[in-house]
Structure 1
Amino acid sequence: MSKTRLAKYIGHAGVCSRRQASRLIDLGEVTVNGRPANHIDHVDELDEVIVQGVKLEGPAKKVLYAYHKPVGIDCKLKPEDPSSLIHHLPQGERVYPIGRLDKDSRGLLLLTNDGELCHQLIHPDHHQEKEYLVEVDKPLDANFCAKMAAGVPVDGQITQPCEVSLVDETRFKIILKQGLNRQIRKMAKYCGYKVIDLYRVRIANYVLNPNEVSENTYQAITLNELL
């Protein structure tokens, strides 16, 4: 049986993504065969791997859910926070969000225990599309879409070119392949507008249907529906 790099093994076990696993290793939250783990460790099912006090039992059955996140839920998984997403996850399975929506935003959020899928979707090399419907605080001018689409300064860098189109006087649609922190809100602010509603409607090929997945509920989906 071949051994797997530790962070990847933890991801396959359904605990978290590989990136999150690396953070847990840095924090001393992982042990291998009774000793503190190292990033260079390679393990298999014969090794005892303990993450935050829980012994891993090998690869978990991969699951994927579409969750319709309402405003007011924080994607950080903090049990002590009553607004945390952790209180709204499927029972009996250890899943986590792929990426995030900020607390003031709503719409499609993917939940999984598949670390490889998480890595595939959030890594910038893979460029998966995310589509949003956005409402702002005043009428949009004629140059808004062209300015946003070309790229504007956000956190010391110019955003990548993207698709932007008007929906009505105060709403626009934007399709991103980038995922900077609160990116759309910051882009709109640079252009002189305040976002008052941000709704994610699509990730890759999966479109959220509120008639099938009502707010604050989730539904199992397949990889074929997503990619």
Structure 2
Amino acid sequence: MSAPTGVVQQAIVWLNDPLTWTEPGGILELAGEHLVMTAIAVVIAAAVAIPTGAWLGHSGRGAGTVVWLTNASRALPTLGIILLLAAGGLFGNTATVIAAAFFAVPVLLVNTYEGVRGADPDAKDAARGMGMSDGRILLQVELPLATTLVSAGLRVTIVQVVATIPLAALAGGGGLGQIIALGMGTQRYGEVLAGGVVVAGLCLLIDAVLAVGQRLATPAPLRLRAG
């Protein structure tokens, strides 16, 4: 039996063991911790990126700022940010959540900015003609019209963060990355493969759920226009 085949068989055996899923520190418990970390990181990123992108898109300014922020945030790899935070005394889940939130901002910022800036000019003119203030136009006209892009940004961001959170294990944190880190440390490469499969499966499952949510969150006229 070749080594790759042996690793695959080990992964299958490990995943088929019920205790692997249900024991303390098993897949289900680690997946729950993984999702909590993801949710916190995405909420932090959304709280920063969506209001900022909406304001910049509404004002018609800030294209250069958006590009600069996006490029600056992507220039630093997530692992690099985790290591910088660790050097400053932050380890584990906290460091990973901060790094993942930093990583998540660009997509949300760009999508919100483009969605608001590209809102139907006729709808905005009609709102102004009705005497609506800038704030009401942003909240009641532009943001609803930007729903498709904003929800798409959220979908991409959440899946990216789910795929990034395993790095927490390198900084002493939790989540599904512990399976991969433990397998590497003990040279049980079947567990490493199994951990990667679980993370990939979780990403695919969440993306499928979010695809449905994205469609439901898009106003019916926009869904019909998209075909």
More strand as a share of residues? 1
The structure showing larger relative contact order (alpha-carbon pairs under 8 Å, at least 6 residues apart) is 2
TM-score normalised according to structure 2 size: 0.23
More helix as a share of residues? 2
